[in-house]
Amino acid sequence: MRVFITGASGHIGSAVIPELLGAGHQVVGLARSDKSAAALEAAGVEVQRGDLDDLETLKRAAADADGVIHLAFRHDLVFSGDGEGAVSADLAVIDAIGSALEGTGKAFVGVSGTAVLAWAGITDRPGTEDDAVPGAHRRGAETNVIALAQRGVRASVVRPGLVVHSDLDTTGSGFTPVLIGIARDKGVAAYVGDGANRLPAVNTYDAATVFRLAVESAPAGSRLHAAAEEVSFREFAEAIGRNLGVPTASIAPEDAAEHFGFLGGFVLIDNPTSSELTRRRFGWNPTHPGLIADLDQGHYFRQAPVTV
């Protein structure tokens, strides 16, 4: 297949590219900067210059491909306080790519997250791939991608676990680097209450396999879960504290927002998640180190400190 990827040089995209190339696919990556273009070329990827605001270029690249994986998001707008602008831009990209693929039966893989299950109140049982969440992730992105299945697009969505981790998680904006930065700055690796809230986690390289499986064979309208394991937030915090050499401690729920800043809502999430259907339907078998083992390898703590 000829696969067009947005967010090709990002955290997950950096693992999806070798996964696709290793399976014999041709990859075209969207690159906004010269630096990204050079990195993609070095990886053996055909470069499509442009950005998420260039909808006509996105349409042409999608039309020329056999499948599209859309990973990019305007995080710059989110961090500048324009979350609504980031969401609007994402929905416009989905609509543009969808219009280019309409009626072709080609694959379009979007990205959501298992957190949508917790936000929908599914905490009394593991959320599954068959749980549809109207208006899910990024205020409609998941729903809009899935809706393309009714327009002749083999559309699917991958929901990665709340914690996607590996040595590729180096930008400083990911969940794990930010939590490490907070623990380093405050001198304590904190968890809320008893820390028993459950976090689905997945190694980036295992998540990349799910994206490949989705673009290759996911039926129209399907959701796949890239969640390899379940870790309690307390276990997560203890591993961070151990590697930083700082104590681990509980804080009260009412103090979460002050301690964790913009992650105050995320650290309270209880997100039990099953990936059984993805494993059974697509033969996914995660093999890379789990979250605690990955943290104990030390690469997160050799990176430049994150300012929070």
Between CA 48 and CA 31 the distance in angstroms is: 6
Say which residue, 134 or 285, is predicted with more confidence: 285
What is the CATH T-level fold of the domain 164-201+230-271+289-302, as seen in this structure?
A: UDP-galactose 4-epimerase; domain 1 (3.90.25)
CATH: 3.40.50.1260, 3.40.50.300, 3.40.1000.10, 3.40.50.720. Which one for 2-161+202-228?
3.40.50.720
Q: Above pLDDT 90, what percent of the chain?
A: 85
Report pLDDT for 86: 78
Give me the mean pLDDT over the 183-190 stretch.
Answer: 97
DSSP 188-253: SEEEETT---EEEEEEHHHHHHHHHHHHHHPPTTEEEEE--EEEEHHHHHHHHHHHHT--EEEE-G
pLDDT digits (tens, 9 = 90+) for 46-102: 999 999 999 999 999 999 999 999 998 876 666 667 677 878 889 999 999 999 999
What the block records as the tokens of 290 is 């789990």
Considering only CA atoms, which of 138, 127, 105 is closest in space to residue 217? 105
Residue 14 has pLDDT above 70, yes or no: yes
Cβ of 53: how many Cβ atoms within 10 Å? 12
Residue 241 pLDDT grade (very low, low, confident, very high; cuts 50, 70, 90)? very high
CB of 286 within 8 A of CB of 203? yes
Between CA 97 and CA 55 the distance in angstroms is: 8
What the block records as the tokens of 147 is 């809706």
Report pLDDT for 75: 67
Report pLDDT for 171: 76
Question: What residues pair up with 158 in beta bridges, in sequence order?
Answer: 111, 224
Lowest mean pLDDT segment, chosen from 3-12, 80-89, 175-184, 258-267: 80-89
The residues of the chain that CATH labels 3.40.50.720 are 2-161+202-228
Residue 252 has pLDDT above 70, yes or no: yes
Residue 173 pLDDT grade (very low, low, confident, very high; cuts 50, 70, 90)? confident
Report pLDDT for 16: 98
The residues of the chain that CATH labels 3.90.25 are 164-201+230-271+289-302
Question: What residues pair up with 49 in beta bridges, in sequence order?
Answer: 31
pTM: 0.94
Considering only CA atoms, which of 32, 37, 19, 26 is closest in space to residue 1? 26
Say which residue, 168 or 170, is predicted with more confidence: 168
Terminal-to-terminal C-alpha distance of the chain: 42
Q: Where are the alpha helices (DSSP H) in the chain?
A: 13-22, 34-42, 55-63, 75-79, 83-101, 115-119, 137-147, 175-186, 204-217, 233-244, 256-260, 276-282, 291-296, 299-302
Report pLDDT for 79: 63
Residue 203 pLDDT grade (very low, low, confident, very high; cuts 50, 70, 90)? very high
Q: In the predicted model, what is the mean pLDDT of the chain?
A: 93
